[in-house]
Amino acid sequence: MSEFAVPAPVQPSVAIATSNARFPVRRVFCVGRNYASHAREMGNDPDREPPFFFMKPSDAVVPANGTIPYPSLTSNLHHEVEMVVAIGRPGFNVSVEAAPDHVWGYGVGIDLTRRDVQDQAKKMSRPWDWAKGFDSSGPCGALVPVSEIGHPSTGSIWLNVNGTPRQSGDLNEMIWSVAEIIAAISSSVAIAPGDLIFSGTPAGVAALNPGDTVTAGVDGIGEISFHISGVS
Protein backbone atom coordinates (compact mmCIF):
# COMPACT_ATOMS: atom_id res chain seq x y z
CA MET A 1 0.00 0.00 0.00
CA SER A 2 1.31 3.45 -0.91
CA GLU A 3 2.18 5.86 1.85
CA PHE A 4 0.97 9.44 1.90
CA ALA A 5 3.56 12.18 1.47
CA VAL A 6 1.94 14.20 4.27
CA PRO A 7 -0.37 13.16 7.12
CA ALA A 8 -3.80 12.17 5.78
CA PRO A 9 -6.59 14.57 6.78
CA VAL A 10 -8.99 13.54 9.52
CA GLN A 11 -12.34 12.26 8.22
CA PRO A 12 -15.03 14.87 9.05
CA SER A 13 -18.06 13.35 10.73
CA VAL A 14 -21.31 14.20 12.50
CA ALA A 15 -22.73 12.71 15.70
CA ILE A 16 -25.72 10.37 15.55
CA ALA A 17 -28.41 11.00 18.14
CA THR A 18 -29.22 7.36 18.82
CA SER A 19 -25.77 5.76 18.55
CA ASN A 20 -22.13 6.09 19.55
CA ALA A 21 -21.25 5.63 15.87
CA ARG A 22 -20.67 8.69 13.72
CA PHE A 23 -21.79 9.69 10.23
CA PRO A 24 -18.84 10.38 7.87
CA VAL A 25 -19.15 13.53 5.77
CA ARG A 26 -18.29 13.28 2.07
CA ARG A 27 -19.76 16.31 0.32
CA VAL A 28 -21.90 19.20 1.56
CA PHE A 29 -24.53 20.53 -0.83
CA CYS A 30 -26.50 23.68 0.04
CA VAL A 31 -29.73 24.83 -1.59
CA GLY A 32 -30.03 28.54 -2.33
CA ARG A 33 -33.31 30.42 -1.71
CA ASN A 34 -35.59 27.47 -0.95
CA TYR A 35 -38.09 29.48 1.12
CA ALA A 36 -40.08 32.24 -0.63
CA SER A 37 -39.90 34.51 2.43
CA HIS A 38 -36.10 34.35 2.48
CA ALA A 39 -35.91 34.93 -1.28
CA ARG A 40 -37.97 38.11 -0.84
CA GLU A 41 -35.86 39.42 2.04
CA MET A 42 -32.76 38.94 -0.13
CA GLY A 43 -34.38 40.96 -2.93
CA ASN A 44 -35.18 38.05 -5.25
CA ASP A 45 -38.29 36.72 -6.98
CA PRO A 46 -39.59 33.65 -5.10
CA ASP A 47 -41.19 32.05 -8.14
CA ARG A 48 -40.53 28.32 -8.45
CA GLU A 49 -37.50 28.43 -10.72
CA PRO A 50 -35.13 25.43 -10.88
CA PRO A 51 -33.12 25.09 -7.66
CA PHE A 52 -29.49 26.16 -7.55
CA PHE A 53 -26.73 24.92 -5.29
CA PHE A 54 -23.44 25.84 -3.71
CA MET A 55 -21.09 23.72 -1.63
CA LYS A 56 -19.09 23.80 1.56
CA PRO A 57 -15.94 21.76 2.25
CA SER A 58 -16.66 18.65 4.30
CA ASP A 59 -14.45 19.89 7.13
CA ALA A 60 -16.50 23.10 7.40
CA VAL A 61 -19.05 20.92 9.22
CA VAL A 62 -18.41 21.08 12.97
CA PRO A 63 -20.45 20.16 16.07
CA ALA A 64 -23.19 22.69 16.77
CA ASN A 65 -22.28 23.06 20.42
CA GLY A 66 -19.65 24.76 22.54
CA THR A 67 -18.01 27.74 20.84
CA ILE A 68 -17.91 28.60 17.14
CA PRO A 69 -15.24 31.15 16.13
CA TYR A 70 -16.25 34.45 14.58
CA PRO A 71 -14.48 34.26 11.20
CA SER A 72 -11.95 36.63 9.68
CA LEU A 73 -12.59 38.89 6.67
CA THR A 74 -16.10 39.90 7.73
CA SER A 75 -18.00 42.35 9.89
CA ASN A 76 -21.40 40.95 8.88
CA LEU A 77 -21.66 37.27 9.82
CA HIS A 78 -25.18 35.93 9.23
CA HIS A 79 -27.05 32.90 10.58
CA GLU A 80 -29.22 30.65 8.37
CA VAL A 81 -30.94 27.73 10.14
CA GLU A 82 -31.60 24.71 7.92
CA MET A 83 -32.85 21.15 8.02
CA VAL A 84 -29.92 18.91 7.08
CA VAL A 85 -30.50 15.78 4.98
CA ALA A 86 -28.00 12.91 5.30
CA ILE A 87 -27.61 10.59 2.31
CA GLY A 88 -27.19 6.86 2.97
CA ARG A 89 -27.43 5.26 -0.50
CA PRO A 90 -25.60 6.06 -3.75
CA GLY A 91 -27.44 7.14 -6.85
CA PHE A 92 -27.34 9.04 -10.12
CA ASN A 93 -30.38 10.49 -11.89
CA VAL A 94 -32.51 9.50 -8.93
CA SER A 95 -36.23 10.01 -9.52
CA VAL A 96 -38.35 12.10 -7.17
CA GLU A 97 -40.31 8.97 -6.27
CA ALA A 98 -37.18 6.99 -5.37
CA ALA A 99 -35.33 9.84 -3.64
CA PRO A 100 -36.63 9.22 -0.08
CA ASP A 101 -35.04 5.75 -0.15
CA HIS A 102 -31.62 7.43 -0.40
CA VAL A 103 -32.05 9.44 2.83
CA TRP A 104 -30.30 8.06 5.93
CA GLY A 105 -31.51 10.70 8.37
CA TYR A 106 -32.04 14.35 9.25
CA GLY A 107 -30.43 16.99 11.45
CA VAL A 108 -30.36 20.70 12.30
CA GLY A 109 -27.59 22.87 10.90
CA ILE A 110 -26.59 26.50 10.42
CA ASP A 111 -25.24 27.89 7.17
CA LEU A 112 -22.99 30.65 8.51
CA THR A 113 -22.41 33.29 5.85
CA ARG A 114 -19.97 36.18 5.51
CA ARG A 115 -22.73 38.36 4.05
CA ASP A 116 -20.52 41.32 3.18
CA VAL A 117 -18.16 39.00 1.30
CA GLN A 118 -21.13 37.42 -0.51
CA ASP A 119 -22.60 40.81 -1.44
CA GLN A 120 -19.29 41.88 -2.93
CA ALA A 121 -19.02 38.61 -4.87
CA LYS A 122 -22.53 39.10 -6.28
CA LYS A 123 -21.70 42.63 -7.41
CA MET A 124 -18.61 41.38 -9.20
CA SER A 125 -20.28 38.21 -10.58
CA ARG A 126 -17.82 36.04 -8.67
CA PRO A 127 -18.31 32.69 -6.89
CA TRP A 128 -19.57 32.59 -3.30
CA ASP A 129 -16.89 30.20 -1.99
CA TRP A 130 -15.19 32.68 0.34
CA ALA A 131 -18.58 33.76 1.73
CA LYS A 132 -19.90 30.25 2.40
CA GLY A 133 -17.03 27.78 2.65
CA PHE A 134 -14.84 29.10 5.46
CA ASP A 135 -13.72 27.15 8.52
CA SER A 136 -16.53 26.11 10.91
CA SER A 137 -19.17 27.57 8.57
CA GLY A 138 -21.50 24.56 8.88
CA PRO A 139 -22.34 23.81 12.53
CA CYS A 140 -24.50 20.68 12.58
CA GLY A 141 -26.32 18.87 15.36
CA ALA A 142 -26.64 15.13 15.82
CA LEU A 143 -28.38 13.27 13.00
CA VAL A 144 -31.56 11.27 13.62
CA PRO A 145 -32.11 8.17 11.46
CA VAL A 146 -35.15 7.93 9.19
CA SER A 147 -36.11 4.79 11.07
CA GLU A 148 -36.71 6.97 14.14
CA ILE A 149 -38.60 9.91 12.62
CA GLY A 150 -39.61 9.12 9.05
CA HIS A 151 -39.37 11.97 6.51
CA PRO A 152 -40.38 15.32 8.07
CA SER A 153 -42.27 17.54 5.63
CA THR A 154 -44.02 19.84 8.11
CA GLY A 155 -42.95 21.32 11.41
CA SER A 156 -41.46 24.47 12.84
CA ILE A 157 -37.93 25.52 11.91
CA TRP A 158 -36.59 28.34 14.08
CA LEU A 159 -33.55 30.20 15.40
CA ASN A 160 -33.08 32.51 18.40
CA VAL A 161 -30.13 34.73 19.28
CA ASN A 162 -29.63 35.48 22.98
CA GLY A 163 -33.19 34.24 23.57
CA THR A 164 -34.73 36.59 20.99
CA PRO A 165 -36.54 34.97 18.03
CA ARG A 166 -34.86 35.70 14.70
CA GLN A 167 -36.00 33.04 12.23
CA SER A 168 -39.29 31.16 12.19
CA GLY A 169 -40.90 29.09 9.46
CA ASP A 170 -42.31 25.69 8.61
CA LEU A 171 -40.83 22.89 6.54
CA ASN A 172 -43.99 22.91 4.41
CA GLU A 173 -42.91 26.34 3.11
CA MET A 174 -39.97 24.87 1.21
CA ILE A 175 -40.23 25.68 -2.50
CA TRP A 176 -38.48 22.42 -3.41
CA SER A 177 -39.12 19.28 -1.35
CA VAL A 178 -36.29 17.08 -0.11
CA ALA A 179 -37.11 14.48 -2.77
CA GLU A 180 -37.03 17.12 -5.53
CA ILE A 181 -33.73 18.48 -4.21
CA ILE A 182 -32.13 15.03 -4.26
CA ALA A 183 -33.41 14.43 -7.79
CA ALA A 184 -32.00 17.77 -8.95
CA ILE A 185 -28.57 17.22 -7.38
CA SER A 186 -28.28 13.65 -8.66
CA SER A 187 -29.09 14.75 -12.21
CA SER A 188 -25.74 16.56 -12.19
CA VAL A 189 -23.47 14.54 -9.89
CA ALA A 190 -23.71 11.13 -8.28
CA ILE A 191 -24.79 11.23 -4.67
CA ALA A 192 -23.18 8.83 -2.18
CA PRO A 193 -23.33 7.79 1.46
CA GLY A 194 -21.88 10.57 3.59
CA ASP A 195 -23.30 13.45 1.56
CA LEU A 196 -25.12 16.16 3.50
CA ILE A 197 -27.67 18.56 2.05
CA PHE A 198 -28.46 21.86 3.78
CA SER A 199 -32.01 22.32 2.48
CA GLY A 200 -32.52 26.10 2.71
CA THR A 201 -33.47 28.70 5.30
CA PRO A 202 -36.62 30.69 6.15
CA ALA A 203 -36.76 34.47 6.51
CA GLY A 204 -35.12 36.35 9.34
CA VAL A 205 -31.42 35.97 8.57
CA ALA A 206 -29.42 38.61 10.39
CA ALA A 207 -26.03 39.42 11.86
CA LEU A 208 -24.28 37.62 14.70
CA ASN A 209 -21.83 39.33 17.03
CA PRO A 210 -19.04 37.97 19.21
CA GLY A 211 -20.51 36.73 22.48
CA ASP A 212 -23.91 35.83 21.02
CA THR A 213 -25.64 32.58 21.94
CA VAL A 214 -27.46 30.81 19.12
CA THR A 215 -30.22 28.27 19.72
CA ALA A 216 -32.10 26.64 16.86
CA GLY A 217 -34.22 23.64 16.04
CA VAL A 218 -36.56 21.74 13.79
CA ASP A 219 -39.64 20.13 15.30
CA GLY A 220 -39.33 16.37 15.47
CA ILE A 221 -35.59 16.41 14.72
CA GLY A 222 -33.81 18.27 17.49
CA GLU A 223 -32.30 21.45 18.85
CA ILE A 224 -28.78 22.91 18.87
CA SER A 225 -27.05 25.63 20.89
CA PHE A 226 -23.64 27.28 20.63
CA HIS A 227 -21.77 30.51 21.38
CA ILE A 228 -19.92 32.85 19.00
CA SER A 229 -16.38 33.65 20.11
CA GLY A 230 -14.42 36.85 19.61
CA VAL A 231 -13.21 38.06 16.20
CA SER A 232 -10.33 35.92 14.97
121 pLDDT more than 90: yes
Mean local confidence (pLDDT), 13-33: 96
Closest CA to 91 of 180, 199, 23, 187: 187
> Rounded to whole angstroms, what are the CA distances from 77 to 21, 134, 204?
32, 11, 14
Mean of the per-residue pLDDT values for the chain?
94
pLDDT interval class at 33 (50, 70, 90): confident
Q: How far apart are CA 13 and CA 11, in angstroms?
A: 6
pTM: 0.94
208 pLDDT more than 70: yes
Q: How far apart are CA 107 and CA 49, in angstroms?
A: 26
The answer to which of 37-46, 68-77, 89-98, 193-202 has the lowest mean pLDDT is 37-46
Closest CA to 17 of 100, 98, 84: 84
Mean local confidence (pLDDT), 167-188: 96
pLDDT tens digits, one per residue of 35-81 = 876 556 656 666 667 889 999 999 999 999 999 999 999 999 999 99
> What domains appear along the chain, each with residue ranges and CATH number?
13-231 (3.90.850.10)
Per-residue HEC secondary structure of the chain comes to CCCCCCCCCCCCEEEECCCCCEEECCCEEEEECCEHHHHHHCCCCCCCCCCEEEEECHHHEEECCCEEEECCCCCCEECCEEEEEEECCCECCCCCCCHHHHEEEEEEEECCEEHHHHHHHHHCCCCCHHHHCCCCCEEECCEEEHHHHCCCCCCEEEEEECCEEEEEEEHHHECCCHHHHHHHHHCCCCECCCCEEECCCCCCCCEECCCCEEEEEECCCEEEEEEEEEEC
